[in-house]
Amino acid sequence: METTREIFWNVGNVALLVYLLAAVVVFIFIYAFIQRIKLWKIGKEEKRKDQIWERIKSVLVFGFGHKRLLTEPYPGISHFLLFWGFVILLLGTIIIFLQEDILSPIFNLFFLHGNFYLWFSLILDLFGLLAIIGVLLALYRRYILKPERLDNVFDDAFSLILILLILVTGFLTEGARIAFTRPDFERWSFAGWQIALILNPSWTESESLLIWHRFFWWVHLGLAFLFIGYLAYSKLLHIFSSSLSVFFRSFEPKGKLDPILDMENQETFGVSKAEEFTWRQLLDADACTRCGRCQDNCPAHLSEKPLSPKKLIQDLKTNLLLSAKALQKENPDEQRKNLIGESISEDELWACTTCLACQESCPVFVEQVQKVVDLRRYLVLMEAKFPQEITPMFKNLETNYNPWAFGFASRGDWAKDLEVKLLSEDKNVDILFWVGCSGSYDDRNKKVSQALVKILRAANINFGILGQEEKCCGEPARRMGNEYLGQMLIQENIEILKNYGVKKILFACPHGYNTFKNEYPQFGGEYQVYHHTDFILDLIQSGKIKITKKIDENITYHDSCYLGRYNDIYDSPREILKRILEGKIKEMERRREKSFCCGAGGGRMWMEENLGKRINQLRVKQAQETEAKTIASACPYCLTMLSDGIKEIGLEEKLEVNDIAELVASLL
């Protein structure tokens, strides 16, 4: 007997019918998918079509390669098995189609036989089986383990069961065929062979097997077609939408907010309707698979605030679908829901610390933070609606260029006794130390500025400050949605820096650092910027400062969001600690990419925290678990929040926070 099989064996002359049906379901899918693309396109233009090769690479690495999905083993592996099982089975089906309907009839080419057939059968069975394991793992996780981050709707169960049934009926069909035909080489289809043994224990010819086979075959085919037709109307769409999302991901610096350009001539600002987002932002709504990873890392959600980044995206989706109907005139306008207020609450928007944990953990590159800021922009710029405690903060920024009620003229006072060079007196410096609002005005953070001065002096660096000419970098205002105020401050700072011809700037504050590095260029301000952790490490490594003593203690390090996730500076602070510690770095569970925000970002520093638990206290408790006595930080916000947290819990005797600069300076 020839080592191959007949494709439409036992089902009669149905090829034409099958392909006709296939054409119908594929048409349904394509139609629905085009509708979906139209839906995304009601959004505004956004440029995401450059760097095609990089984009393709992203799809290969993050889509096919599951790079982000696999950071969590259980769900990662389960999805990996399911995904690759399906890909291989699909390839198998395509190969069969090519063989049967193109190569064989047209070119008289026949390759699906002999050894190729054997390996083909083996691989298909193997991956089919792996896919089944993947589905079973997913079902077990979703319905038995029930992790908090998953919410279950009908679609989830239906999709998984549908896939499982397709796989199982595939094997049953194969089993029934082998059971009837019983060729020895089919042992290579090892799974089908086992099923055949069950279906036909006596291993004799039995007519009923033909009926069973026909039955399984049709069910398998029907389910597969149902799958294709159902694709674009269900979560299964993510196979395409999520791939597109990965393809169209941002290659801009992670920490950058898109500016509102030409503000003087705009009528509306920010986003209050779904269609005011860009097409890329709307694509996110369909790309999100509700996997809940973002939510699992969201400090707002974990501290029991109303915000969940997953819910935010899903609420946007619901709103988008309603809006689309109204826009396409299927529904009257009244049936739309307000995006802000009805679909997404103001409390949710103000709860976000812009910590970026959601985006860093999202396997399909959904971008939450820009959306939150876009919606905040609408509230602040159009409606002047925000938690009332922010009003004085905005006003202070306007009149005194700092978020607190301190006069602008006293900005340089922290350095009075240190005789730090002011650029207004002598602009010949190698680097400008940008002190920032906290470093200038906050008593605790003034000590960090002073420590940094001590280090710079020890290393003989020729540096200066702007003193009262320095203004808030604009970061908090921008992240709170006050783009107007933010841009005003940015432009005024750029003007001053231009006057002095400043090129290099050193920051102790990651927020200032991020804004200068990633956002000032949007407004024409290009500088070489350094965060003090990179800078100090370099001073140590180059021998410009010598560490002769060491700190005999175990210390834990808290990653600042704007240093870590925003700018990928994870190692420098740790390298510094390694060089100055006698003891060890006691890492917290949530660290580096998964670090837990201190609670101050996105303007939260100036808002009351009335809902849920206090984020800073949660973080302090995580630090406490390491049994270290000192938390090292590298951000003024973190320093303030964690110090407060320690006081609030009453751990002053057991735990303290110090900036890395202070730790280093204490050894000089």
Answer yes or no: are the C-beta atoms of 297 and 365 closer than 8 Å. no
Least separation in angstroms between residue 596's CB and ligand SF4 is 10
The correct pick among 358, 555, 618, 661 for binding ligand SF4 (CB under 6 A) is 358
Q: Among 140-148, 177-185, 350-358, 417-425, which window interacts with ligand SF4 (CB under 6 A)? A: 350-358
Tell which one of 180, 279, 394, 606 touches other proteins (CB under 8 A): 394
Q: What is the DSSP letter of 403?
A: S
Least distance from C-beta 388 to other proteins, angstroms? Answer: 6
Residue 366 binds ligand SF4, judged by CB under 6 A: yes
Residue 226, C-beta contacts closer than 8 angstroms, at least 6 positions apart = 25, 162
| Residue 484 interacting entry, from other proteins, ligand SF4, none, C-beta within 5 to 8 Å by type | other proteins
Specify burial of residue 139 (Cβ count, 10 A radius: 0-12, 13-18, 19+).
middle
Q: Which is nearer to ligand SF4, 168 or 561 (CB)?
A: 561
In the sheet where 504-507 sits, what is the strand order? 463-464, 431-434, 504-507, 528-531
Q: How far is the CB of 69 from ligand SF4 (least distance, A)?
A: 10
Residues from 363 through 382 that contact other proteins (CB under 8 A) = 380-382
Helices 279-287 and 369-377, axial angle in degrees (round to 10): 130
Q: Are 237 and 231 in contact (CB under 8 A)?
A: yes
Separation CA 43–CA 376 (nearest Å): 18
* Minimum distance of other proteins from residue 387's CB (angstroms): 11
Rg of the chain (C-alpha set): 31
Query: How far apart (Å, rounded) are the C-alpha atoms in residues 264 and 273?
Result: 21
Residues 471-510 binding other proteins (CB under 8 A) are: 484
Question: Is residue 448 part of the contact set for ligand SF4 (CB under 6 A)?
Answer: no
Q: Which residues inside 263-282 make contact with other proteins, applying CB under 8 A? A: 263-264, 267, 269
Q: Where are the beta strands (DSSP E) in 315-436?
A: 431-434
Pick the binder of other proteins from 108, 202, 388, 460 (CB under 8 A).
388
Q: How far is the CB of 451 from other proteins (least distance, A)?
A: 26
Dist. CA 423–CA 407, nearest whole Å: 20
| Overall residue count recorded for the chain in this entry | 668
Is residue 407 within the footprint of other proteins (CB under 8 A)?
A: yes
Instruction: Point out which span in 158-166, 215-223, 383-391, 423-431 binds other proteins (CB under 8 A).
Output: 383-391
Choose between 168 and 298: whose C-beta lies nearer to ligand SF4: 298
Of the two residues 105 and 407, which places its CB atom closer to other proteins in the complex?
407
Residue 265 neighbours by CB distance under 10 Å: 6
Q: What per-residue string of b and e applies to 114-131 under the rule 16 or more CB within 10 Å gives b?
A: eeebbebbeebbebbbbb
- Rounded CA-CA distance 666/454 in Å is 9
Q: What six digits make up the tokens of 295? A: 């939510």
CA–CA distance, 263 with 302 (Å, rounded to integer): 36
Comparing CB distances to ligand SF4, the nearer of 364 and 466 is 364
Residues 269-328 close enough to bind ligand SF4 by CB under 6 A: 288-294, 297-300, 307, 309-310, 313
Among ligand SF4, other proteins, none, residue 357 binds (CB under 5-8 Å by kind): ligand SF4
| 574: exposed, middle or buried (Cβ count in 10 Å: 0-12, 13-18, 19+) | buried
Count of residues of this chain found to bind other proteins when the rule CB under 8 A is applied: 23
Binds other proteins by CB under 8 A, chosen from 35, 115, 338, 399: 399
Identified binder of ligand SF4 from the candidate list 11, 167, 340, 352, rule CB under 6 A: 352
Question: In this chain, which of 162, 362, 489, 641 binds ligand SF4, going by CB under 6 A?
Answer: 362
Q: Point out which residues bind other proteins (CB under 8 A).
A: 263-264, 267, 269, 380-384, 386, 388, 391, 394-395, 399-400, 405-410, 484
